[in-house]
Amino acid sequence: MSGLNAAVSTLSGVGPKKAEALAKLDIKTLTDVLFHLPLRYEDRTRITPIAQLIHGVDAQIEGQVIDIRIAFGRRRALLCTIEDDSATAVLRFFHFSKKQQQLLQRAHWLRCYGNARAGKPGHIEMVHPEYQLISEPGTLQSEAGLTAVYPATEGVGQHLLRQISTAALNTLNNDGGLLELLPEAVSQHFQFTSVSMIEAINYIHRPPADANLAKLIEGDHPMLQRLVFEELLAHHLSLRQRRKVREGYQAPQIKPKSKLYQDMVAALPFSLTAAQQRVINEIANDCSSVLPMQRLLQGDVGSGKTVVAAAAIANAVAANEQCVLMVPTEILSEQHYRCLINWFEPLGITVAWLHGRVKGAQRNKLLAALVNGDISILVGTHAVFQDEVEYKKLGLIIIDEQHRFGVPQRLALQRKGERDQSRPHQLIMTATPIPRSLAMTFYADLDLSVIDELPPGRQVITTTVISGQRRNEVVERIRHACLEGRQVYWVCTLIDESEVIVSQAATDTAEELTEQLSSARVGLVHGRMKGDEKAEQMAAFKSGQIDVLVATTVIEVGVDVPNASLMVIENAERLGLSQLHQLRGRVGRGDKKSHCLLMYHGRLSQNARSRLSIMRETNDGFAIAHKDLELRGPGELLGVRQTGDMRLRIARLDEGEAMLDDIRVVADDLLSNSPEIVAQLLQRWLGRAQDFATV
């Protein structure tokens, strides 16, 4: 192979060992090198006088070595002091070898690159800077452009990555045509494709010294947008293909409006909302077709998705199909289990519950009943698609809170029901409001149903933003609420802290509250508790034996205790709006007037203030999601980070929004006129990930 298809091992400096390490970064060919894009850039185009260093800013300096010694303080360190015309700086190394020490001792002049930080008063230092010995200042040429910093891995450092990207760029510039996949007739038409791929790739790897770094990093630089466009296009195409693959399969035809369904609905203590009725029909309609349903049901927290799922289950069970309902947490799985038992057992249908703690004989019995077909409905966590789990005839899969699951998990479950060219119907439910335009592009393999109405009688949740300094008042408020027979959640959050620390914080808070609220019964759930302990506390809260439940965000998804009407969220300023909305959705589920207190600590930044005030102003999940997109970017919103469902290399979904219309038009064109280009785009941007598309 030659040109950009050549293997990286054909480059000088890349032996078999390095090639293997590069493969871990998914870099096998020169093209892969070109699409291994920088994470950020460093400015090594000039030398900064030491006196002008700024705390926290990266810079390149040169200086004469004037002192070198080992400091034995709290932490042993090698300190090397250098001086230029303007001032002195200390280079601090906590890890150093004898050899390194000797090298520095012999050095006269150094050029360093690193992050400056304030040391002792009036002193500036760099911790572990990169350094280079030089014979005198000003002799080494500075870089002409900004220096790219790439995602690296063990055995593959920046030096190698820069070396091979230079080589790949050289090959590209001699042999460019290969890079441009979009037909000229297409690319000419659209704003985002007006620069060529060659220009864009060269620029991204080697931006000139005067490049607008802020724009490059923010993603709204036209050169970067050219790549973003292509990446989003590739994802969109892959979803469209996945949809095509599905059309090659058959699914059991399930009749709508079965007697079982009618009996179940008749026994409900409420009547369905018009929106619920509409989506129930949409789903029933899908399930009655020979094509496997693949539908995303979106409904704000509390909109009543569970009963919609039950309606679909009823029709499937009536048609002698097994159903599985998969949820991300054990707490939620128990809640759904209890719900379904309530609705289905009186009608003579067996419901079973499978989770990690079902073991031994009990588990064997359950698995046997499942494979026999004695169990019609299975509710559970990830346990429901493990290897030993077999179904007799799985006809309907429902996944609740889908943002917590990744594509691989969804597929593993789907395979449980696959026979030859037949597969189960799938319903995927989410409370995460996805702006419609995004949903159409990024869930293009799914049909979309939306419950856009809350059950009647729901009280608006009043939200108050309050400083942690007023904690005592908050506790008083809880005391009153409990006296009135209301129940309270107290949510402890600490973003970026480990589960251990958060769980500890929750435990401490529960102790404090127990002390302060002598008359109230305080419960506790956190991620470090055993499953049965958690279940016990949840059950006690649900049945009213606990007044105040102190919890971590384990209660974020789905938990439904209608009598709870007050929620306190600590450190609210650190959470995303959509997450706050999810949490807040645990109250306001009954007919009681509900309140949510967002407690913050310290001073609020301008951004945090405006974010929290949005929570105060609206209860509308879609409006909140839109604001979240604006203020935070979409990764959090779609749960991309948690699941890797759609791992984007460069694009962020909010940038995508402006491109969506064009992307759809280009995709239509390519799918009908140039299938070979589609394949190449998928290979380029999704590589191995697109295996998913074909299963």
Q: What phi and psi values does residue 565 have, to the nearest 5 degrees?
A: -135, 5
Q: Cβ 400 to Mg ion, closest distance in Å?
A: 6
> 303 is in the binding site of which of Mg ion, ligand ADP, none (Cβ under 5 to 8 A by kind)?
ligand ADP
Contact 587, 567 (CB under 8 A): yes
273 binds ligand ADP (CB under 6 A): yes
Q: Cβ 301 to Mg ion, closest distance in Å?
A: 7
303 binds ligand ADP (CB under 6 A): yes
What is the footprint of ligand ADP within residues 436-465 (CB under 6 A)? 455
> 307 is in the binding site of which of ligand ADP, Mg ion, none (Cβ under 5 to 8 A by kind)?
ligand ADP
Burial (CB count within 10 angstroms: exposed 0-12, middle 13-18, buried 19+), residue 12: exposed
Nearer to ligand ADP by Cβ, of 273 and 571: the residue is: 273
Closest of 378, 391, 377, 254 to residue 316, by C-alpha = 254
Helix axes 305-318, 330-344, angle to 10 degrees: 60
Contact 169, 198 (CB under 8 A): no
Side-chain-side CA neighbours of 554 within 13 Å: the count stands at: 25
Contact 263, 419 (CB under 8 A): no
How far is residue 401's CA from residue 305's CA, in Å, rounded to a whole number?
10
What is the footprint of ligand ADP within residues 537-566 (CB under 6 A)? 558, 560, 562
Closest of 619, 695, 674, 670 to residue 433, by C-alpha = 619
Q: Which of 558, 585, 588, 634 binds Mg ion (CB under 5 A)?
A: 558
- The most distant pair of C-alpha atoms in the chain lies apart, rounded to whole Å, by 90
> 643 is in the binding site of which of Mg ion, ligand ADP, none (Cβ under 5 to 8 A by kind)?
none
330 binds ligand ADP (CB under 6 A): no
Nearer to Mg ion by Cβ, of 111 and 584: the residue is: 584
Query: Where is 130: in which H helix or E strand?
Result: strand 130-134
202 binds ligand ADP (CB under 6 A): no
> 114 is in the binding site of which of ligand ADP, Mg ion, none (Cβ under 5 to 8 A by kind)?
none
Q: Cβ 653 to ligand ADP, closest distance in Å?
A: 24
Q: Cβ 587 to Mg ion, closest distance in Å?
A: 14
- Considering only 1-9, 17-25, 466-474, 552-560, which stretch makes contact with Mg ion by CB under 5 A? 552-560
Q: Which of 148, 234, 301, 510 binds ligand ADP (CB under 6 A)?
A: 301
Q: Which of 292, 302, 380, 656 binds ligand ADP (CB under 6 A)?
A: 302
**Counts for the chain of helices (H) and strands (E), in that order:** 26, 21
**Alpha helices (H) in 114-249, listed in sequence order:** 158-174, 184-187, 197-205, 213-218, 222-246
**What amino acid is encoded at 65 in this protein?**
V
Question: Could you identify the residue written with the tokens 């409900």?
Answer: 268
Which neighbouring-strand residues pair with 428? 296, 399
The sign of the CA dihedral 562, 568, 570, 571 is positive
Q: Cβ 376 to ligand ADP, closest distance in Å?
A: 20
How far is residue 567's CA from residue 565's CA, in Å, rounded to a whole number?
7
Q: Name the closest residue to Mg ion (Cβ).
A: 558
589 binds ligand ADP (CB under 6 A): yes
- Considering only 178-186, 242-250, 301-309, 650-658, which stretch makes contact with ligand ADP by CB under 6 A? 301-309
- Considering only 304-312, 411-419, 533-541, 612-620, which stretch makes contact with ligand ADP by CB under 6 A? 304-312
Which neighbouring-strand residues pair with 292? none
Q: Which of 270, 419, 602, 675 binds ligand ADP (CB under 6 A)?
A: 270
Sites of contact with Mg ion (CB under 5 A)? 558
Sites of contact with ligand ADP (CB under 6 A)? 270, 272-273, 276, 299, 301-307, 431, 455, 558, 560, 562, 589
